[in-house]
């Protein structure tokens, strides 16, 4: 049995040399191919096109009996839009693939469409096409299309040793919401504010565009599967390592009223998924051009890019320990 990463690698290998005449007649127009947050097509003039696709599958990315259909509709588009944010691309439109059991084509679909339309308005993404089909379980596939000024789209692979590491917003809020749902206490009094980021995450589109337009970052990724896991991805693509300062991490504080859940905010911040914040690297000399807020979102300097090999967390005392790539792996069978 192959893991998700192995499947991607396997498909990539099988496809090397795909396209007409080794690379295809448009080969030179694909500026970024597989393996980043999105593919980039270089136009001869004007804007480049940025395209990404994502799935939102019942039992994997949501639980139909727990998550309201509005949330499923909203999140499926938010998740895909976050890939555009990670490239610094301006959102343009999206295409929807939808497989539904017949029992979901009534009230459930109404709610789903409401959530999707809300996200569509909020992110500036118009529905441009799609396909619907019957399916045994709910399957959603979303392809987003955006644009970026010629050559400005930000990949994961440009980070260099000595650069500074930045992250937007807060980390762990979405994972806390997920824990409330998994423990079945999301209906409890006072839970609603804690569910907001799990239910209605906000892809950092304006921040991404702001940064890309000024060409400030050298590499960028969105945090979808957890800070640590996505930091490892950025470092692997850039062939670098990193040190993260624990004291600078913008952890979401767990309210005292929920201490009975025995959750650790550092654990949620490092390894919880679905924050959809941006993680990016900036050369030392450009650090003064990064404000403390961009488009209303706080921006934190949280570490340094080091040479390849080690990704570490530096505690309050200055002692370092390895930061594992462990992250959110959808709903594992042993979990939900």
- Is position 68 an interface residue for its own copies (rule: CB under 8 A)? no
- Is position 150 an interface residue for its own copies (rule: CB under 8 A)? no
Nearer to its own copies, 35 or 283 (CB): 35
User: What is the CB-side half-sphere exposure of residue 161 using CA atoms within 13 A?
Assistant: 8
Binding-site size, its own copies (CB under 8 A): 82
Binders in 74-103 for its own copies, by CB under 8 A? 90, 92-93, 95-100, 102
Minimum CB distance to its own copies, residue 292 (Å): 27
By CB under 8 A, name the one of 7, 66, 107, 213 that touches its own copies: 7
By CB under 8 A, name the one of 66, 107, 130, 336 that touches its own copies: 130
Nearer to its own copies, 98 or 304 (CB): 98
- Is position 243 an interface residue for its own copies (rule: CB under 8 A)? no
115 contacts: CB under 8 Å, gap ≥ 6: 68, 69, 70, 71, 72, 73, 74, 75
- Is position 315 an interface residue for its own copies (rule: CB under 8 A)? no
Stretch that binds its own copies, among 58-66, 228-236, 264-272, 305-313 (CB under 8 A): 58-66
Minimum CB distance to its own copies, residue 300 (Å): 28
Minimum CB distance to its own copies, residue 224 (Å): 11
Binders in 176-235 for its own copies, by CB under 8 A? none
Nearer to its own copies, 21 or 256 (CB): 21
- Is position 330 an interface residue for its own copies (rule: CB under 8 A)? yes
Nearer to its own copies, 75 or 300 (CB): 75
Binders in 32-51 for its own copies, by CB under 8 A? 33-36, 38-39, 41, 43-47, 49, 51
By CB under 8 A, name the one of 15, 215, 239, 321 that touches its own copies: 15
By CB under 8 A, name the one of 129, 151, 193, 255 that touches its own copies: 129
- Torsion angle defined by CA atoms of residues 56, 57, 62 and 65, in that order, rounded to the nearest 10 degrees: 140
């Amino acid at each position: 049995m192959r893991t998700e990463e192995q499947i991607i690698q396997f498909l990539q290998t099988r496809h090397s040399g795909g396209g007409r005449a080794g690379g295809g007649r448009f080969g030179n127009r694909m500026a970024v191919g597989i393996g980043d947050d999105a593919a980039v097509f270089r136009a001869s003039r004007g804007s480049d096109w940025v395209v990404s696709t994502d799935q939102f599958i019942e039992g994997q990315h949501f639980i139909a009996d727990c998550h309201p259909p509005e949330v499923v509709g909203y999140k499926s588009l938010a998740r895909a839009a976050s890939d555009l944010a990670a490239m610094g691309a301006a959102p343009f439109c999206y295409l929807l693939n939808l497989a539904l059991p017949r029992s979901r084509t009534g009230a459930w679909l109404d709610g789903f469409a409401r959530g999707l339309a809300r996200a569509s308005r909020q992110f500036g993404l118009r529905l441009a096409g799609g396909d619907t089909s019957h399916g045994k379980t709910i399957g959603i596939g979303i392809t987003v299309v955006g644009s970026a000024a010629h050559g400005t789209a930000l990949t994961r692979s440009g980070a260099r040793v000595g650069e500074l590491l930045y992250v937007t917003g807060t980390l762990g809020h979405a994972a806390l919401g997920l824990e409330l749902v998994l423990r079945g206490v999301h209906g409890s009094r006072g839970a609603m504010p804690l569910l907001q980021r799990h239910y209605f995450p906000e892809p950092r589109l304006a921040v991404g565009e702001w940064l890309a337009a000024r060409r400030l970052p050298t590499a960028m990724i969105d945090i979808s599967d957890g800070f640590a896991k996505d930091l490892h991805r950025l470092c692997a693509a850039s062939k670098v390592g990193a040190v993260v300062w624990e004291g600078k991490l913008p952890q979401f504080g767990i309210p005292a009223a929920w201490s009975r859940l025995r959750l650790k905010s550092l654990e949620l911040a490092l390894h919880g998924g679905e924050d959809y914040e941006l993680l990016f690297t900036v050369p030392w000399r450009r650090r003064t051009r990064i404000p403390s807020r961009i488009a209303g979102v706080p921006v934190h300097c949280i570490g340094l890019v080091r040479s390849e090999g080690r990704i570490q967390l530096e505690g309050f005392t200055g002692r370092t320990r390895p930061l594992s790539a462990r992250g959110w792996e959808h709903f594992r069978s042993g979990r939900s």
